[in-house]
Structure 1
Amino acid sequence: MAAPYDVHATDALLVCTACGTQFPTADRTTLPSCRICDDPRQFTPPGGQSFVTMADVRRRHRNVFHPSTGGNPRLISIASEPKLAIGQRAVLVRTPAGNILWDCLTLIDEATIEHIRALGGLKAIVISHPHYYSSHVEWAAAFDCPVYMRAEDKEWTVQQSPRQVFWSSSNVQEIVVSGQDNVKRATGAKAIRLGGHFPGSQVLLFEGHLLIADTLVTTPSGLGSWATDALGKPSSRPAGMNSFAFMWSIPNMIPLSGEEVFAMWHVLKHHDFTRTHGAFVGTDITAPDLKQRVLESMKIQTKFAGWAKQEAWEGVLSETV
Structure 2
Amino acid sequence: MASYDSQATDAYLVCTACGTQFPVTDRATLSTCRICDDPRQFTPPTGQAFVTMADVRRDYRNVWHTATGGDERLTSIASEPKLAIGQRAILVRTPAGNILWDCLTLIDEETVARIRELGGLQAIVISHPHYYSSHMEWAEAFDCPVYLRSEDREWTVQESPRQVFWQGDDVQTVLGKESNALAIRLGGHFPGSQVLLFDGHLLIADTLVTTPAGLGSWATDALGQPRDRPTGMNSFAFMWSIPNMIPLSGEEVFAMWAILKHHDFTSTHGAFVGVDVMDPKIKQRVLESMKIQTKYAGWARQDAWESV
TM-score by structure 2 length?
A: 0.99
Are the aligned partners of 1:41 and 1:249 in contact in 2 as well (CA < 8 Å)? yes
Are the aligned partners of 2:4 and 2:109 in contact in 1 as well (CA < 8 Å)? no
The 5 Å alignment of 1:147-186 reads 147-176=146-175, 186=178
Among 284, 299, 307, the residue aligned to 1:292: 284
Partner of 2:16: 17
Partner of 1:129: 128
User: By how many angstroms is 1:199 displaced?
Assistant: 0.1
Partner of 1:244: 236
Partner of 1:310: 302
> Which string of whole-angstrom CA distances, capped at 9 and with x for unpartnered residues, describes residues 129-166 of structure 1?
00000000000000000000000000000001110000
For structure 1, list consecutive stretches of 5 or more residues without a partner in the other structure: 178-184, 317-321
Partner of 2:226: 234
Separation (CA, whole Å) in 1 of partners of 2:238 and 2:54: 36
Separation (CA, whole Å) in 2 of partners of 1:51 and 1:260: 34
The 5 Å alignment of 1:54-203 reads 54-176=53-175, 186-203=178-195
Partner of 2:26: 27
Are the aligned partners of 2:97 and 2:175 in contact in 1 as well (CA < 8 Å)? no
Separation (CA, whole Å) in 1 of partners of 2:204 and 2:291: 19
Among all aligned residue pairs of Structure 1 and Structure 2, give the percentage whose two residues are the same amino acid.
79
Are the aligned partners of 1:190 and 1:206 in contact in 2 as well (CA < 8 Å)? yes
Work out whether 1:206 is the aligned partner of 2:198.
yes
For structure 2, list consecutive stretches of 5 or more residues without a partner in the other structure: none
User: By how many angstroms is 1:72 displaced?
Assistant: 0.5
User: By how many angstroms is 1:3 displaced?
Assistant: 6.5
Q: Is the alpha carbon distance of 1:70 and 1:3 closer, same or farther for their aligned partners in structure 2, counting shifts above 3 Å?
A: closer
Separation (CA, whole Å) in 2 of partners of 1:187 and 1:8: 34
Query: What letter corresponds to residue 127 of structure 1 in structure 2?
Result: I
Q: Secondary structure at the match of 1:314?
A: helix
Query: What letter corresponds to residue 87 of structure 2 in structure 1?
Result: Q
Query: What letter corresponds to residue 224 of structure 1 in structure 2?
Result: G
User: By how many angstroms is 1:5 displaced?
Assistant: 3.4
Q: Secondary structure at the match of 1:141?
A: helix
Separation (CA, whole Å) in 2 of partners of 1:5 and 1:24: 17
> Which string of whole-angstrom CA distances, capped at 9 and with x for unpartnered residues, describes residues 151-190 of structure 1?
000000000111000001200010126xxxxxxx731100
Q: Secondary structure at the match of 2:31?
A: coil
Query: What letter corresponds to residue 19 of structure 2 in structure 1?
Result: G
> Which string of whole-angstrom CA distances, capped at 9 and with x for unpartnered residues, describes residues 49-100 of structure 1?
0000000000000000100001111000000000000000000000011100
Are the aligned partners of 2:75 and 2:90 in contact in 1 as well (CA < 8 Å)? yes
Separation (CA, whole Å) in 2 of partners of 1:159 and 1:257: 31
Separation (CA, whole Å) in 1 of partners of 2:120 and 2:126: 17
Are the aligned partners of 1:175 and 1:186 in contact in 2 as well (CA < 8 Å)? no
Which aligned segments of 4 or more residues in structure 1 are displaced greater than 6 angstroms?
none
Query: What letter corresponds to residue 222 of structure 1 in structure 2?
Result: G
Work out whether 1:48 is the aligned partner of 2:40.
no
Are the aligned partners of 1:174 and 1:186 in contact in 2 as well (CA < 8 Å)? no
Separation (CA, whole Å) in 1 of partners of 2:93 and 2:175: 13
Q: Secondary structure at the match of 1:251?
A: coil
User: By how many angstroms is 1:315 displaced?
Assistant: 3.8
Partner of 2:208: 216
Q: Secondary structure at the match of 2:179?
A: strand
Separation (CA, whole Å) in 2 of partners of 1:6 and 1:225: 46
Query: What letter corresponds to residue 265 of structure 2 in structure 1?
Result: F
Separation (CA, whole Å) in 1 of partners of 2:223 and 2:120: 48
Separation (CA, whole Å) in 1 of partners of 2:140 and 2:122: 12
How many pairs were matched up?
308
Separation (CA, whole Å) in 1 of partners of 2:80 and 2:114: 16
Partner of 1:254: 246
